[in-house]
Amino acid sequence: MPLLAIALVLAGTSFAGAVSTHDTIRAKPVPTTVVNPSAQQLRTSVQQAATLASVHVVWTTSYGNHSYRNTAEVSQLGGLVTIVSVVGKNKGTASAVVTPTMAYLKADQFSLRSTFNFSSAGATKYAEKWLSFTPKQPLYRTISSTASFSSIISSMSLRAPFTTLKADKIGSTPVIGIRGIAAGPSDSSIGEGQMITIYLSSATGLPVRVLPLSKAASAWSLDFSSWGEPVVIAAPNGAISSSGIRESFRFDDKVL
């Protein structure tokens, strides 16, 4: 075969396998994730709050003739808590100091009995005295849960459907409310599955209040302020170790 003919054959083969400049190459579409604006706004708020590492929080709850009000200064390293409980005509007050290695409790007789399951004799003996509990004891977990910064942060997790409410005010603070279904862990401050509203400051974007949507038999609220302010935690002097007061608890409750 003449060289010219061979060249034409090779050229024809090459051209046949090439892509014409008139052909269209269609790329597969890249899937995109649509982020709900309300969810993104809440996520940004919670991330900002987490970096501040401390907050003043007031938690109130009531059901029947019971009501409780926890006022706490909470940080990542623990906190200071005052617990006021009312049952019928009876009222009690307890104070707690929480550190990573110890929880301290001082309460009146009524609070020791009704809130912390002390026996009548134990409540009488240890009323208004500082007691200490180690992390290995269940009562440490009960006390420390009232001053858990991680629990506060994890509580502010919502899942769809989301609703952004119109601008409002809480006191003199302009807020925006974001409503959804609570999606925090089971040990968070808010039970999973409730429809709740988280109110964010219009000025700072930080959480201000959390409220349930329904008017159930048990009513509650969480109010936040002073994000990022220092929390000074000092262990009380002369606290009595709980290892020596086991007999002061009700025998049907394993609180130690």
Q: What is the pLDDT of residue 72?
A: 97
Query: How many Cβ atoms sit within 10 Å of the Cβ of residue 203?
Result: 9
Compare 189 and 140 and report the one with higher pLDDT. Answer: 140
Q: What is the rounded CA–CA span in Å between residue 204 and residue 201?
A: 5
For residue 26, the model assigns a pLDDT of 53
Separation between Cα atoms, residue 81 and residue 179, nearest integer Å = 28
The residue-averaged pLDDT of 215-220 equals: 72
Sign of CA dihedral 114, 116, 122, 125: negative
- Locate the domains of the chain by residue range: 38-225
| 145-159 tens-digit pLDDT | 989 999 899 888 899
Concatenate the DSSP letters of all residues of 190-219 into one string.
S-TT-EEEEEEETTT--EEEEEESS--SEE
Residue 51's pLDDT is 97
Which token pair is 174?
């302009």
* Residue 247 CB neighbour total at 10 angstroms: 11
Q: How buried is residue 205: exposed, middle or buried, by Cβ count under 10 Å (0-12/13-18/19+)?
A: middle
CATH of 38-225, one of 3.90.550.10, 2.50.20.20, 1.10.510.10, 3.40.50.720: 2.50.20.20
pLDDT digits (tens, 9 = 90+) for 66-122: 999 999 999 999 999 999 999 999 999 999 999 999 999 999 999 999 999 898 888
β-pairing, 240-241 vs 131-133, is parallel
Instruction: Find tokens 């009380």 and name the residue.
Output: 236
In 3D, which of 35, 5, 1, 42 has the Cα closest to residue 206?
42
Please check the confidence at residue 35 and state whether its pLDDT lies above 90: no
pLDDT in the model for residue 248 = 56
CA atoms within 13 A on the CB side of 69: 7
Higher pLDDT, 89 or 253: 89
Q: Which pTM value belongs to this model? A: 0.79
